[in-house]
Amino acid sequence: MNHERIHDAQQRELLWFPFYMIYVLEWVLRLCMLRSWKKAYMAISFERDAYAHGRDFGYLSGRRRFAQWRRADA
């Protein structure tokens, strides 16, 4: 459930249509590079952010805007 809440925060930052456009575009590019549906899905920046913090229920309260594109150590 928290995973989906993270996606909701991502969608609100980008608005829904741009979110899905970027999501699909990134998936297609990763699919071309990785040649695997599952690896491409797991490499999408939105999914990496949501999976990395899906069990951290306090993450959304301190999450920086556009965190999916920020380095973890930044």
Residue 53 forms part of a structural domain: yes
**38 within domain boundaries:** yes
Does the residue 25 lie in any domain? Answer: yes
Counting beta carbons within 10 angstroms of the beta carbon of residue 49, is it exposed (0 to 12), middle (13 to 18) or buried (19 or more)?
buried
Looking at the domain assignment, is residue 63 inside a domain? no
CB atoms within 10 A of CB 47: 22
pLDDT for 45? 96
Compute the distance between CA of residue 50 and CA of residue 40 in angstroms, rounded to an integer.
15
The number of domains in the chain is 1
- Which domain, by its residues, includes 25? 2-57
Residue 64 in domain: no
pLDDT in tens, the chain (74 residues): 999 999 999 999 999 999 999 999 999 999 999 999 999 999 999 999 999 999 999 999 999 999 999 876 54
pTM for this structure?
0.86
Burial degree of 14 (CB within 10 A; 0-12, 13-18, 19+): middle
Q: Is position 14 within any domain?
A: yes
Taking every pair of C-alpha atoms in the chain, what is the biggest distance, in angstroms? 36
Residue 73 lies in a domain: no
